[in-house]
A and B are shown apart, each in its own frame.
Chain A
């Protein structure tokens, strides 16, 4: 990463991963409408053949769509959303892997909190901390 001057660098991106495409899309809508468009944002959800599920390929695509030099914070719902996200992160090129984190936070609330923090130009670590602060309360 080069200089980290507020507002000159792109903001941290947010990826939402849910078993349900409706939940993922809805959570992304909430971030867009509440936080605005200053944050790169992508979502994925659902099995490739339809129905509930998550898959590594779609998560990789979403990370790519929301990519920012400042990094990407991923919000997940349950089980496979987390393990498949971990697998997707493992498959990233070396220079990107260190700039992607999976937040230990509820998917909808965490996405809004993370998005708000990211919109202010905060670092990836600050974004993750804010999303996870919910859990600590």
Chain B
């Protein structure tokens, strides 16, 4: 968890509908996508945090975020807007997993 101040250049939120929440496979998908961007990217289950580094697989999986949680993303950097858009899209598409 990281509560260091950030001046995000992009934010977005999305509700997790995937049956098991942010568990093993969704966590891997989310982390891999986050790592494909240069921006610093974090998420939290509340707009006040605590914020989790979206590029850390151990921290993402460790967050044990359940189904129904509204995930708040914030990103800082050149590709922040694209990063938030892509991550929100991934969650909306149920992490592109069939089960």
Q: Which A residues fall within an 8 A CB radius of B? A: 34-36, 112-113, 116-117, 119-122, 130, 133-134, 137
Contacts and interface: CB of A to CB of B under 8 A. Distances in A.
Contacts of A133: 56, 58
A116 B62 contact: no
A79 B61 CA distance: 28
B85 interface: no
A116 to B, nearest CB: 4
A122 to B, nearest CB: 8
Interface of chain A, helix or strand or loop or mixed?
A: helix
Interface residues of B, number: 13
Given A116-B32, A120-B32, A120-B36, A137 B24 contact: no
Contacts of B31: 116, 120
Nearest to A31: B28
Interface in B31-64: 31-32, 35-36, 55-58, 61-62
Contacts of A121: 35
Contacts of A134: 58
Contacts of B36: 120
Given A112-B24, A112-B28, A134-B58, 15 more contacts: A34-B25, A35-B32, A36-B32, A113-B57, A113-B58, A116-B31, A120-B31, A120-B35, A120-B36, A121-B35, A130-B56, A130-B57, A130-B58, A133-B56, A137-B62
Contact of B32 (A113, A119, A130): A119
Contacts of A137: 58, 62
B35 A35 contact: no
